[in-house]
Amino acid sequence: MATSASNLAATKQQEEQAENSDSDGVDSSCELVKVDIAVVGNAGCGRSSFVNAILGFEENDKNAATTPSGKEISSYCHPTSPNIIFSILPSIDKKTFPIFNDFLRCGYIEKFDAFLILTNDMFDKRHFAFAKTVSKSSNKPVFFVRTKFDNNNSSQGVEEESKEESALLKLRKSFAKKLKEFELNEREIYFISNYQPDKWDFLKLTNAIEAALPSQKGRFSKIPIIQKLIALDKFHHFLEEDKLKQEKIANYDEIKELFLTRGIAGVQSMINKKLGLWKEVKVELAVLGNSGAGKSSFVNAIRGVDDDAENCANVGVIETTRVPTAFPHPTNPNIRYWDLPGIGTPNYPDLDTFCKLVHIEMYDTFLILSSARFTENDKLLAAKVKSMGKSFFFIRSKIDNDRRSEKRKLKKNFKENKMLRQISDDCMKSIKDFGGGEQDIFLISSHEPTKWDFDRLQKAILDQLPSKQKESLMFTLQAKSKDVLRDKIELLKSRLWMVSASLVSKKFGFWPFSQYVVGKKVKEIIQSYSLQLEFPTRGSEEFKMLSEDLQRKVRKFNDGPYQDILQWLKSFDPDNTHSITDYKKYIVTKKPLIFLQHTLTVIIDEMGEIAFDILDETANNAQNDDDLD
């Protein structure tokens, strides 16, 4: 048998590395157990590329594997795993060995510990005959590897994927037939690409080689490229990649890189930043209109603050708003409603003075209120805002007053819809120059924000804001209407994969990969959902008003997770599909991200239904009260 110079070099390299093993991370525990794996194949089948791929060498590295010439053997190992050697044998084809028996007589079967038979096409007679000889004369493992699988498989799109599936099936069938012909036991065929080791069966092959060589248990995974492949595999496992990647993860590559370099902790720090981004976004909303139009009352209503609360905007029958005053949202101070004095008041006699003094350019959107027809000043202001390329809304306030007086006047002949149409038509006349339609006027009462267009207004404001501002404002809106509720549920769901990833424990880190979910954080998330979906707290007046059935349902989410989180989570999946158990303060499951995604989706759906029921019940109660009036 010819042994090449590079084989000797590899041995020398191993010896040197073994000597330095303590200082440079070489696995010293297995110095004595060497394995030499033969890479067999025809010329051009990808033997050296395979060795480079498995050892993580670039083709132009000085250490890179090259195919030996003639009947030489070249051997390679990775510096961190010097005891795992890959030796490229001379080509098994007719050109190198016109007589096949000459190949068999070279003593390879005795010398090497395992055999990888590579082909970039179909396996031929010699391949099978060689495998048969190995299995007859020893019980050394042989692996059939089909290389260059990337050449005909781009695996992009569903159609290509199904084509690939059927190609694989065909190849497997014909391979099984050949095995039978040569009376070889059933065995696997591994489809790989040396250029894309993260795809197809590359990792499966390395796992199989390691499993077949008991002396190397746990050693293959020390080779960096294999370590990376394992991490990547775990990453795919973690994300259930295909489903999540396309739909939800915009910055997939960034996340992958973070996962591979810094593990779950890296992904989480990025995710936490993203999840918290909405808190940093600023939104400035200007509320304008004549004195007494109901600006301060509106500012309080939209912030969910009572007119006599500590941080309320002062409301009064006499003029109260004299200087621009910002009212931050109670749960997010970056969202500010500005209560602005009306144009025409002593300090702001005309539009120009007003614009200058209130710094008109600093607001994102303008809410123009009037409790009667819109005035000339309202229109001048709207035109100015329009010229600045910003949005504005005409809001007709105090509809409850109109309803009350009309009802008193018309008694049984009172028809609310007719009244609303009249008010709307009347307002339309005053703003006809703006060319809008009925939908551009919002009829509201700040005293009854669950009625009329209050909700449609909130949604309209949201819809014209840029997406980050929209998200930010959405979280502060009260889910007192079905539209806002629906949007909130959608928003909560769109953040689900990030939320799920943030709940996985990073304590157990990247290696071994964490299967632990932090129970306390799950409770916090459920609590935040309760808040977002406006579940009344136990003991509150709102809670007492609910029917018994709804009280029980609300309690399930308000109290349930705090009793026994494991049992509580299991109640959403009686078959325990995700096989969850608990360990100390953790929920343990094999695929934490998938488990969380599924369970939290079920939870949000159930909570969403309850929130809708609460709205219905509250609306019914209010209607009954009205009917009694």
Ligand X SMILES: Nc1nc2c(ncn2[C@@H]2O[C@H](COP(=O)(O)OP(=O)(O)OP(=O)(O)O)[C@@H](O)[C@H]2O)c(=O)[nH]1
User: Contact letters (x/-) for Mg ion, 344-363, by CB under 5 A?
Assistant: --------------------
Footprint on residues 267-326 left by ligand X (CB under 6 A):
289, 291-297, 315-317, 319-321
Q: Check residue 371 for interaction with Mg ion (CB under 5 A).
A: no
> Least distance from C-beta 373 to Mg ion, angstroms?
20
Among 320, 345, 371, 391, binds Mg ion (CB under 5 A): 320
Among 221, 296, 515, 530, binds Mg ion (CB under 5 A): 296
Measure the CA–CA gap between 401 and 423, rounded to whole angstroms: 12
> Least distance from C-beta 606 to ligand X, angstroms?
35
Q: Which is nearer to ligand X, 285 or 501 (CB)?
A: 285
> Least distance from C-beta 334 to ligand X, angstroms?
23
CA separation, residue 366 to residues 103, 284, 390, 447, 465 (Å): 86, 9, 8, 21, 12
Task: Give residue 7's Cα distance to chain centre.
Answer: 48
Measure the CA–CA gap between 8 and 192, rounded to whole angstroms: 29
Q: Which is nearer to ligand X, 293 or 587 (CB)?
A: 293
Measure the CA–CA gap between 155 and 160, rounded to whole angstroms: 5
Which listed option, ligand X, Mg ion, none, makes contact with residue 269 (CB within 5 to 8 Å by class)?
A: none
Partners of 367 in the β-ladder = 287, 393
Q: Which is nearer to ligand X, 148 or 398 (CB)?
A: 398
Q: Which is nearer to ligand X, 342 or 519 (CB)?
A: 342
**Residue 546 near residue 614 (C-beta atoms within 8 A):** yes
Q: Which is nearer to ligand X, 41 or 292 (CB)?
A: 292
- Determine how many CB atoms are found less than 10 A away from the CB of residue 384: 17
Which listed option, Mg ion, ligand X, none, makes contact with residue 294 (CB within 5 to 8 Å by class)?
A: ligand X
> Least distance from C-beta 321 to Mg ion, angstroms?
3
Q: Which is nearer to Mg ion, 26 or 313 (CB)?
A: 313
Q: Nearest 5°: CA angle at 379, between 377 and 380?
A: 65
Q: Which is nearer to ligand X, 77 or 293 (CB)?
A: 293
Footprint on residues 510-539 left by ligand X (CB under 6 A):
none
> Least distance from C-beta 400 to ligand X, angstroms?
5
> Least distance from C-beta 399 to ligand X, angstroms?
7
Measure the CA–CA gap between 278 and 26, rounded to whole angstroms: 47
Contact region for Mg ion (CB under 5 A) — 314-322, 486-494, 508-516, 598-606? 314-322
Measure the CA–CA gap between 232 and 257, rounded to whole angstroms: 10
> Least distance from C-beta 376 to ligand X, angstroms?
17
> Least distance from C-beta 445 to ligand X, angstroms?
4
Q: Which is nearer to ligand X, 446 or 599 (CB)?
A: 446
Measure the CA–CA gap between 76 and 13, rounded to whole angstroms: 9
Smallest CA-to-CA distance from 123 within 191, 53, 48, 201 is with 191
Q: Which is nearer to ligand X, 103 or 348 (CB)?
A: 348
Q: Which is nearer to ligand X, 178 or 303 (CB)?
A: 303
Could you tell me where the beta strands, DSSP code E, fall in 194-324? 283-289
Measure the CA–CA gap between 293 and 463, rounded to whole angstroms: 25
Q: Which is nearer to ligand X, 143 or 327 (CB)?
A: 327
Q: Check residue 42 for interaction with Mg ion (CB under 5 A).
A: no
Quote the tokens at residue 591.
Answer: 């695929």
Q: Which is nearer to ligand X, 263 or 292 (CB)?
A: 292
Sheet of 516-518: strand order equals 516-518, 586-588, 581-583
Contact region for Mg ion (CB under 5 A) — 99-107, 292-300, 464-472, 606-614? 292-300
Which listed option, ligand X, Mg ion, none, makes contact with residue 29 (CB within 5 to 8 Å by class)?
A: none
Q: Check residue 342 for interaction with ligand X (CB under 6 A).
A: yes
Among 445, 502, 515, 558, binds ligand X (CB under 6 A): 445
Which listed option, ligand X, Mg ion, none, makes contact with residue 231 (CB within 5 to 8 Å by class)?
A: none
User: Contact letters (x/-) for ligand X, 2-41, by CB under 6 A?
Assistant: ----------------------------------------
Residues 6+ apart with CB under 8 A from 504: 264, 268, 514, 516, 517, 518, 592, 593, 596
Among 321, 397, 481, 500, binds Mg ion (CB under 5 A): 321
Q: Which is nearer to ligand X, 351 or 491 (CB)?
A: 351
Measure the CA–CA gap between 372 and 377, rounded to whole angstroms: 13
> Least distance from C-beta 380 to ligand X, angstroms?
18
User: Contact letters (x/-) for ligand X, 91-130, by CB under 6 A?
Assistant: ----------------------------------------
> Least distance from C-beta 573 to ligand X, angstroms?
47
CA separation, residue 545 to residues 6, 542, 557, 619 (Å): 84, 5, 18, 12
Q: Which is nearer to Mg ion, 66 or 320 (CB)?
A: 320
> Least distance from C-beta 619 to ligand X, angstroms?
18
Contacts within 8 Å (CB) and 24+ apart, 26-33? 26/79, 26/80, 26/81, 26/82, 27/80, 27/81, 27/83, 27/219, 27/222, 30/83, 30/215, 30/216, 30/219, 31/82, 31/83, 32/83, 33/83, 33/215, 33/216
Length of the chain: 629
Could you tell me where the beta strands, DSSP code E, fall in 438-551? 441-443, 516-518
Contacts within 8 Å (CB) and 24+ apart, 168-176? 171/146, 174/122, 175/123, 175/144
Which listed option, ligand X, Mg ion, none, makes contact with residue 41 (CB within 5 to 8 Å by class)?
A: none
Which listed option, Mg ion, ligand X, none, makes contact with residue 613 (CB within 5 to 8 Å by class)?
A: none
One-character DSSP codes across 7-56: HHHHHHHHHHHHHTTTTTT--GGGTT--EEEEEEE-TTSSHHHHHHHHHT
Footprint on residues 382-401 left by ligand X (CB under 6 A):
397-398, 400-401
Phi, psi dihedrals of residue 23, rounded to the nearest 5°: -90, -20
One-character DSSP codes across 136-160: HH----EEEEE--TTTT----HHHH
DSSP state, residue 309: S
For Mg ion, the binding residues (CB under 5 A) are 295-296, 320-321
For ligand X, the binding residues (CB under 6 A) are 289, 291-297, 315-317, 319-321, 342, 397-398, 400-401, 445-447
